[in-house]
Amino acid sequence: MHILVTGGAGYVGSVSVERLVDAGHRVTVLDDLSKGHHGAVVEGATFVKGSFGDRELVDRLLRDGGIEVVLHCAARSLVGESMRDPGAYYATNVAGGLSLLQAMRETRVRRIVLSSTAAVYGVPESTPIREDAVLRPINPYGETKRAFEGAMAWFGRAYGLRSASLRYFNVAGASERNGEDHDP
């Protein structure tokens, strides 16, 4: 399967790319290197520098590459920064994400897995948090992830997009080659 991994030069993305390549998949990484590292992309994957919000570029990648599924790891993802600069979070995570979904619709790529976050739940009424707990984010980071999840669901209803969201908490762990390499 040919998979487009956005943010594939970042922490979660780079380890995912390693696993996908090991499993025999063809992988194209799209990353603007705003936070990631080119050296984190394994040799077996094709690297493209650019933004998932660049409609022309993404259209071309999806159309020409025979991509069947998108693993969407790229995002702005710092809670504190999102409180100070919500506009940047809406621009990247929501507007950029919508551009990606429109490109997928246009090119008939119908499957996406989102690297979402437990921040979509906000302060839960009970723990452990059930998957179907109410979504009540308390910062723009969580809110913009929730908005994108909503867009994916409505694209599913209207255009047949199939989507899954992985709402995880703070990630730990590494492969032998890659792990967390963040500043801060």
- Residues designated as active site: 141
The conformation of residue 94, written as its DSSP 8-state character, comes to I
Our CB check for ligand NAD shows the closer of 9 and 27 to be 9
Instruction: Report CA Rg, the chain.
Output: 16
Tokens of 121: 């739940």
Our CB check for ligand NAD shows the closer of 18 and 158 to be 18
CB of 126 to ligand NAD, least distance (A): 21
C-alpha–C-alpha distance, residues 169 and 148, integer Å: 18
Report how many helices (DSSP H) and strands (DSSP E) the chain contains, helices first.
6, 6
CB of 67 to ligand NAD, least distance (A): 15
Q: Is the distance from CB of 74 to CB of 52 less than 8 angstroms?
A: yes
Our CB check for ligand NAD shows the closer of 96 and 161 to be 96
* Residues at the site binding ligand NAD, with contacts judged by CB under 6 A: 6-7, 9-13, 30-36, 51-53, 73-75, 77, 92, 96, 115, 117, 168, 170-171, 182
Nearest Cα residue to 104 out of 152, 50, 48, 157: 152
Our CB check for ligand NAD shows the closer of 93 and 161 to be 93
CA dihedral 35, 38, 39, 43 (to 10 degrees): 140
Cα–Cα separations (whole angstroms), residue 178 to 15, 55, 80, 95, 182: 6, 29, 25, 30, 12
